[in-house]
Structure 1
Amino acid sequence: MILKHLCLYSILLATWPPLLWANNLDYNALFRQCPADSATLLTHHAPPAFSASAIDTTDISAEQVINSGKTTSIFSGNVLIERHLLRLQTDQATYSRDTQRVDISGNIHIDTESMALSANKGWLNLLNNEGEFNASTYYIPEAHLSGSTPVIRVTADNRTILTDTQFTTCPLNQPDWSLGASTLILDQNEATGTAKHTVFRLKGVPLLYFPWIQFPLGDERRSGFLIPSIGISSSRGLELAAPIYWNIAPNQDAIITPRYMRERGTMLATDYRYLTRSSQGVFNFEYLNNDAQFDEQAPDKILFDKQRYLIHFKNQSKITDNLSLSLLANTVSDDEYLRDMGSNIGVSNVTHLEKNANLKYTFDNWNAGLLTQSFETIDTTLTNRPYQRLPQITLRGKEELLEIDNGYLQGSLESEWVEFAHENAAKKQGSRFFAYPKLSLPIEGNAWFIKPTAGYYYSQYDITENDDKLDIEDRGLSVLSLDSGLFFEKDYASSSLIQTLEPRLYYLNVPFEDQAAIPPFDTSEQSFSFSSLFRENRFTGIDRIGDANQLTLALSSRMLNSDNGHELMNFSIGRIFYFDKQRVTLTDTADPADTSANASDIIAELGFNLNRWKARATTQWNRQTNEADKRNILLSYAASEKAVFNMGYRFFRDPRDDNLEQTDVSFAWPFARNYALLGRWNYSLTEQRNLQTLIGLEYESCCWALRLVSQRYITDDTEDRTNFMFQLVLKGFGGSANKKTTNSLKFAIPGYQPDF
């Protein structure tokens, strides 16, 4: 069995390089490390483009010209020959008028539209641009490809044929990797290169042989194999994926990836993209025909199916200038699929998959929408599952009704009708109509603002429970608010700093109405933050409208650079004072005493943005217990998109004593030339266990890169999963199409933006 797998892996490794490399990377980013002034790197200068009337003209200049008879001229000393899209420089050239052939020798340099080459001697036919050059080096700027060859031949059909050539995207004086081919044909018409009998060398050591390969000469998309990915997972074992890029059409492409998993079997994944004049979208499909972990003898003990799949579809269409349609569909074969096949904590802990169709119409400041939405719950432990919207119709907009000094009267409307359905027939279900017209009058000056607002919430429900119609009265609530603030500034004469002081008062009045009979279809309590101090409703959704007779007192201060407006520091603190007790709760079983305090918690935020350093801290102080119910601290440093450091701490006190307290450290740090260390450590102080650990090593040279990453994380069922991922990029010859390693790193290390 070991010999069988060893042979299989050897065959896969021997066939991984592209037979047709697909090319979809950012060349400027990829090659930014390459030395622009390398002594062996030819420079390419665009040749002249002659006008249509002079397109057949040939210009020749030299320090000395000797005519030999009537048909032959010998040019010597800084010889320059220019034709349409061709420039040739040499020490000596012999020109025959009869054959239109030029024999050249000594320090030859030629620039065509797509390449530059140098040689010792050669010849060129000016009639059809055929030619041959000896002891040549060449450079193709669009592909960043350099090479050398004893013989290079240019044909009349715009092809370049090289014999016994060595080529690479590395500088020729430092070829970390190279391909040696007995024959290389560069077809400028098709923008492809074809190599025969090719040997791949790494650091001069021959590793692999390919009888035939083809690659693009620029950044055009080409069909073919992409560089495979190799990894190890605790749930899947050794993994090998060999992606194939299919350039279907200029507006369509797909990546088809056979994926071998030693512990599971062979999966086929397809990622399809399309772009039309009015639409764009993606379709992803993964299919595993026979999961080796499935127990035929005890299927009831297995939480997944034998045949497993994932489907993802997303479409955005612009039907007219005002009308758009978006479609989203997600499904998996079983509840365990993402946990078994996912590659990071974010994917493995998804609890719901959404399906929706959303039709929107916009006109001026108004928009109308028609939405159908449902969810597939893949976490079977959840009892509170979301409702479906079948459908939801919305109309929202605002208008300036009257202009006055320093302000204007603004009217707005939010309205909807929605039908709620649930997979559990015993749950309350039905329709809801909601309308919220509002008038506001924002008035402001240079150092102050005031904004009175008046609105009216109206809702109507038609609800059934076990086929019995519930008697729910229509709800109508007035909303009155007054927002006001002042702006003070202090200039520091000795610097360009400006400090602001911004006190703010916000009064809100919403009468109480008993809403316990209304089911909370899409409503929940909002987490408390500084922005919560100025919200009209303390609940998300509209099944609960919080009663309020309250005044918010807040103070903010900012430190600004007057030269560029950059904010260096900000600090905010605030609190809500209640004139009446809050009585509306999310459920009819909630204890009203929980909302009986005469003031809210004190919320404070502090932020710094000093060049490469950023810091953010938030605290929520409970005056009743004199303890912090919430603390968040984040410190980050970014020397570049590839050199970042993050350190965070978060604490949340749960009334049920199920507190959350975590530390989080992540970094991407170049520690030596071409080397970088990647890592993350997310630790739960409450549970005293690691939530996610990641360590990676990256090597990136001028022309290739290698990344090794190992991570361990827990799923929502507290099961540990381990992944080991390998990523190789030969710059200019495509990267790994499997972006799982890159996506895992971006998810784990905020601010890290690698080139591949």
Structure 2
Amino acid sequence: MRKIWGLAVLSAIHSTAFANTNIVAAQCKDYMQPENWKPLASLPKHAIDIVADDLELQGTDSAEFSGNVVINTETMSLEARRALIDKKEGLLSASGPLLYRDQFTKVHSNGLFADLNANTVSLLGAEYELTDQQGRGGAEKLHASGSKISLDNSSFTTCPADDPFWSIEASSIVLSREDGWGETYNTVFKIMDTPIIYLPYFTFPIDDRRKSGLLTPTISSSNKFGLELITPYYLNLAPNYDATLTPRYMANKGFQLITEFRYLTEQHQGKIGVEYLSKDDSEPQLDDRYLVHWQQKSYLSDKWRAFVDVTNVSDDNYLTDLTSEYANETDTQLYRTGSLSYLGEDWLVDLKLQDFEVLGDHRESYTALPQISFRTRDSYELVGLDWDFEGEFAYFQNDALPISEASRLHLEPRVSFSRSDYAWSFTSEARLLHTRYEQNIDVPDTEYEESVTRTLPSLRVHGQLNFERSTEFFFEQGTQTLEPQIQYLYTPHREQSQIGWYDTAKLQDDFIGLFRARRYSGYDRIAEANQFTVGATTRVFDSSNVERFNFSAGQIIYLESSVKPSEQLFTDDTNYNALFAAESMLHWHKRWYLSGGVQYDVDSKELVQSHFTLDYKGDDKQLVQLNHRYVNDVSDYEIDQVGLFTSLPIDDNWQFVASYHRDMTANRSVESFVGVQYQSCCWAIQVTANRQIETNLNQTLTNDEAVFDSGFSLKFVLTGLGSQSSGDASKLLQQGIFGYRRPYFLNK
């Protein structure tokens, strides 16, 4: 028997009231309901569809249904043995066992009573579960009213129902759809059915909105810190700004407070971090230790941008002693800058204030206050040539250096002629580089001069051919290209020893660097040049036009001995003549990637640099990388290191990660790391151990004096109580001195 009543019914149990925020692990798919509830497609709007074996009318406004009762509305369905509906009063009662369902929830109960006019429902002896998210539990009484659900003498867990690893049992659980959070009163937290802790009150998320609360703590131990406990607390201050307070206890050092404030407005986004340690027990001679970090990006208008990035520490060894997420512990300089950019229709202008905090015994840097650079946005065509212009004004200051103050004005007009087609390209350009220096020299009898003007032209001619053919060498229906190129560069000699070094450094001499117009960044040194550079690149693309192989090689040929780098003693760095550079990539399979490069001085027959990477990326978080790098001179040290990264799933729940780096010159390990993670649908644990060489910026240690720090860390996550699951354990490999980096796959 079927009856349809024109009575508006609102579902009393709303999906968002149980909307758990946590990511469902792949292991949980067997515990979730595969299908979601859907209303009857043919049901009229604001109507109730009732099917039952028997119907007994009680006047004109009430009816009692019995025997396999099925009630459907737009927002819910109910299966019960017996149901009574009072249309006039808007009341519904049902007896069970019964099954209640809406779009996201499924409830087994002994009885139901609903006030349809007040939009409230009560279920007795309820066993509930979520149909598209993790979460289930039981309640002596479940009461729903509007956007809020109350569970009396109830339980909650995200684990499988048969054997939950963890659960909470409370005298009352309140779930608020409006607030997105759940509250529990008189709660006992259990692990494996064993009571662990009693909490009079706490909250947890039921959707993706943020709320203040304790985040996942981390417990670790190491030689440096001793026992370490980190307990972050999140403060949801407003929709557009928040903060995190992180007490950090270190047995060997003391108590540190780490704070971070984040903000977001229509024009600005940024964060401010402060780390403070009042007394370091392991360094009693030091005063209080701190770090301050401020980073902000501002979009002031369509034409104006601003950026701030400032980090300051109390002492040189702060990062190596205490570590921080705002800088790497191997950094020897802290970058501090503020910039304002103008993006006009004709000009691009950058105003920058820049400073470096030098850590340890390293070369002092200059403060640039200010540094204004400008250039034309587009080239202007005149008599068949392209004309553009760029320049810069900078004021440098450092009282600790022989030149305490200096101003630099650089003007650089350029004219070029370029033509290109699919099979070839040609570019010729001429520049006039004019630079004016005013220098305040504090040290007598130096080669520096107070006023220096340097003007010199520069000529560059570059041509490239592009050949292409079909090939079956690597892939069927593949395509191979050959791209030979040649460049001539001429810059006359100018004496520049009377100019100080302010913001200029030697550029990398890789394959791309062979074809640069300059050897140095900045304008303080412009290298003499009279040279040809020849090189070629060949590439192989598969039938889908994906680049699978490339090889590039080139060499600089100097036409005069005086223009060789070794003859231009601009810096104390080692210079190389007749430099040959090559690099290659082989991506023969979607999971395998091989890349490498080499720089070689043909004159001295000396290897300058080399690098090699073999990478495997499989399904299900499988990752293996083998790498090697060599540099023959870095601050008078030879770098020869090999490294290994691996991440291997053991089964659906367990994953193993490890990394190892070894210094072949010193014949010792530099860093080793191993970790294992267990992750189920309702809890996860990470256990890691590491050993790495310690850095001391205040002294230089020999190989025999190197000190190592060893430690382990434990991270425990309960999915569904506000902590995010740890996810991909391979992300652990991005930590440490040598972080894993995925090779770049280039598509045509």
Q: TM-score range by the shorter chain?
A: 0.7 to 0.9
C-alpha displacement of 1:558: 0.8
- 1:361 is displaced (CA, Å) by 0.9
Residue 245 (structure 1) aligns with: 234
Provide the rounded CA distance (Å) in 1 between the counterparts of 2:725 and 2:522.
41
Alignment of 1:137-156 (within 5 A): 137-140=127-130, 144-156=133-145
CA contact (8 A) 1:512 1:584 kept: no
In 1, Cα distance between equivalents of 2:165 and 2:318: 41
Partner of 1:401: 380
> How far did 1:627 drift?
4.0
Question: What residue identity is the alignment partner of 2:113?
Answer: W
Q: How does 1:229-308 map to 2 (within 5 A)?
A: 229-295=218-284, 302=285, 304-305=286-287, 307-308=288-289
Residue of structure 1 aligned with 2:733, choices 745, 748, 753:
745
**Residue by residue, what CA displacement relative to the aligned partner does 1:671-721 show, whole Å, maximum 9, x if unpaired?**
233111121111111112221111111111122211111222223334422
Shift of 1:455: 1.6
Match of 1:513 among 494, 498, 502: 494
> Match of 1:390, SS?
strand
Q: State the match for 2:94 in structure 1.
A: 104
**8 Å CA contact 1:326, 1:357 repeated in 2:** yes
The separation in 1 between residues aligned to 2:325 and 2:379, in whole angstroms, is 48
Amino acid at match of 2:308: L
Equivalent residue in structure 2 for 1:700, among 668, 675, 679: 679
When residues 262 and 91 of structure 1 are mapped into structure 2, their CA distance, relative to the original with a 3 A threshold, is: same
Residue 94 in structure 1 maps to residue 94 in structure 2: no
C-alpha distance in structure 1 between counterparts of 2:42 and 2:307, whole Å = 49
Residue 261 of structure 1, CA deviation: 1.4
Q: 1:658-669 alignment to 2 at 5 Å?
A: 658-669=637-648
1:492 aligns with 2:471: yes
- C-alpha displacement of 1:172: 2.4
Can you list the C-alpha shifts for 1:642-678, whole angstroms capped at 9, x where unaligned?
Answer: 3321111111122986321111111222123311112
Counterparts of 1:425 and 1:595, CA distance in 2: 25
Match in the other structure for 1:720: 708
- Whether the 8 Å contact between 1:443 and 1:449 is mirrored in structure 2 is yes
- Residue 731 of structure 1: aligned partner: 719
Instruction: Report what 1:126 is aligned to.
Output: 116
| 2:452–2:498 contact (8 Å) kept in structure 1 | no
Query: In the superposition, relative to structure 1, how do residues 441 and 154 fare at CA in structure 2: closer, same or farther (>3 Å)?
Result: farther
Partner of 1:602: 580
Cα deviation 1:243-276 (Å, max 9, x = unaligned)? 1110000001001111211122211111110001
Amino acid corresponding to residue 659 of structure 2 in structure 1: R
Structure 1 393/256 Cα, relative in aligned 2: closer, same or farther at 3 Å?
A: same
- Assess, with a 3 A threshold, how the Cα gap between structure 1 residues 87 and 738 changes in structure 2: closer, same or farther: closer
Structure 1 residue matching 2:328: 3-state secondary structure: helix
Q: Please, which moves more after superposition, 61-70 or 342-351? A: 342-351
| Residue 432, structure 1, aligned to residue 408, structure 2 | yes
Q: TM-score, normalised by structure 2?
A: 0.87
Q: Is the 8 A contact 2:469 2:479 kept in 1?
A: yes
Q: Which residue among 209, 217, 226 is the counterpart of 2:198? A: 209
1:154 shift after superposition: 2.1
The 3 A distance-change label for structure 1 pair 723 and 377 is farther
Q: How many Å separate the matches in 2 of 1:593 and 1:294?
A: 36
- 1:300-356 alpha-carbon deviations (Å, 9 max, x no partner): xx3x32x11111111111222211221222111222211111179972222122222
For the residues of structure 2 that align with 1:274 and 1:283, how far apart are their CA atoms? 9
Deviations 1:25-70 (A, max 9, x none): 9957x314143353x648543669999xx98x34223154513331
Q: Deviations over 1:553-576 (max 9, x none)?
A: 11111111232x211111111111
Native 8 Å contact 1:232 1:238 kept in 2: yes
The whole-number CA distance in structure 1 between the counterparts of 2:95 and 2:515 is 81
Q: Say which SS state the counterpart of residue 543 (structure 1) adopts.
A: coil
Query: Could you say which residue in structure 2 is the equivalent of 1:541?
Result: 522
CA apart distance, 1:449: 1.2
- Report if the CA contact (8 A) 2:34-2:131 is conserved: no
CA displacement 1:620-643 (0-9 Å, x = unmatched): 233234343222111111125833
Taking the aligned partners of 1:315 and 1:172, their CA distance within structure 2 comes to 47
1:470 aligns with 2:428: no
Q: How far apart are 1:432 and its partner, in Å?
A: 0.6
Alignment of 1:642-681 (within 5 A): 642-654=621-633, 658-681=637-660
Once the two structures are TM-superposed, the CA of residue 358 in structure 1 deviates from its matched residue by 0.8
2:593 corresponds, among 611, 614, 617, to 614
Structure 1 residue 226 corresponds to structure 2 residue 226: no
What per-residue deviation string (whole Å, max 9, x for no partner) do you get for residues 568-591 of structure 1? 111111111111234486998569
Question: 2:14 — aligned with what?
Answer: none
Matched, 1:341 2:312: no
Q: Note the 1:68-83 alignment, pairs <5 A.
A: 68-70=57-59, 71-75=61-65, 79-83=69-73
Structure-2 change in CA distance of 1:42 and 1:495 (3 Å): closer
Kindly state the Cα deviation for residue 112 of structure 1 after the two structures are TM-superposed.
Answer: 4.5
Range that drifts further, 313-322 or 108-117: 108-117
Q: Which of 334, 344, 352 pairs up with 2:333?
A: 352
Paired position in structure 2 for 1:194: 183
In the alignment of these two chains, the number of paired residues is: 706
Q: 2:239 is matched by which residue type in structure 1? A: P
Check whether the contact 1:388–1:422 (CA below 8 A) recurs between aligned residues.
yes
**Structure 1 pair 446–328 and aligned structure 2 pair: CA distance change class (3 A):** closer
**For structure 1, which runs of at least 5 residues remain unmatched after alignment?**
1-24, 296-301
- Deviates further, 549-558 or 233-242: 233-242
Residue 145 and residue 177 in structure 1: after superposition, are their counterparts in 2 closer, same or farther (change >3 A)?
A: same
8 Å CA contact 2:403–2:443 kept in 1: the answer is no
Paired residue type of 1:475: R
Residue number in structure 2 paired with 1:631: 610
Of 37, 49, 53, the residue aligned with 1:45 is: 37
Is structure 2 residue 544 aligned with structure 1 residue 572? no
1:377 to 358, 361, 374: 358
- Aligned letter for 2:203? Q
Q: Which moved more, 1:118-127 or 1:547-556?
A: 118-127
Q: Is the 8 A contact 1:398 1:410 kept in 2?
A: no
Query: Bigger shift: 247-256 or 716-725?
Result: 716-725
1:184 aligns with 2:165: no
Pairwise CA distance, 1:87:
4.1
Are the equivalent residues in 2 in contact too, given 1:349–1:715 (CA < 8 A)?
Answer: no
CA contact (8 A) 1:129 1:154 kept: no
Instruction: Please tell me whether the aligned partners of residues 24 and 134 of structure 2 are also in contact (alpha carbons under 8 angstroms).
Output: no
Percent identity, please: 27
Cα separation, partners in 2 of 1:138 and 1:480, compared to 1, 3 Å = same
Partners of 1:230 and 1:593 in 2: how far apart? 45
Instruction: Quote how far apart the aligned CAs of 1:279 are.
Output: 0.6
Change (3 A) 1:149 1:471: closer
Instruction: Establish whether residue 413 from structure 1 lines up as the match of residue 389 from structure 2.
Output: yes
What letter matches 2:560 in structure 1? D
Give the distance between the partners of 1:751 and 1:139, measured in 2 at CA: 41
SS in 2 for 1:673: coil
Match of 2:417 in 1: 441
Question: Structure 1 residues 498, 271: closer, same or farther in 2, change over 3 A?
Answer: same
8 Å contact kept, 2:404–2:442 = yes
Q: Which runs of 5+ in 2 are unaligned?
A: 1-18, 697-705, 744-748
What amino acid is aligned across from residue 134 of structure 1 in structure 2?
Answer: L
Q: 1:399 to 1:346 in 2, by over 3 A?
A: closer
Aligned residue for 2:276, secondary structure, equals strand
Matches within 5 A, 1:312-323: 312-323=293-304
333-342 or 154-163, larger mean C-alpha shift: 154-163
The 1:171/1:668 distance shift into structure 2, 3 A limit, reads: same
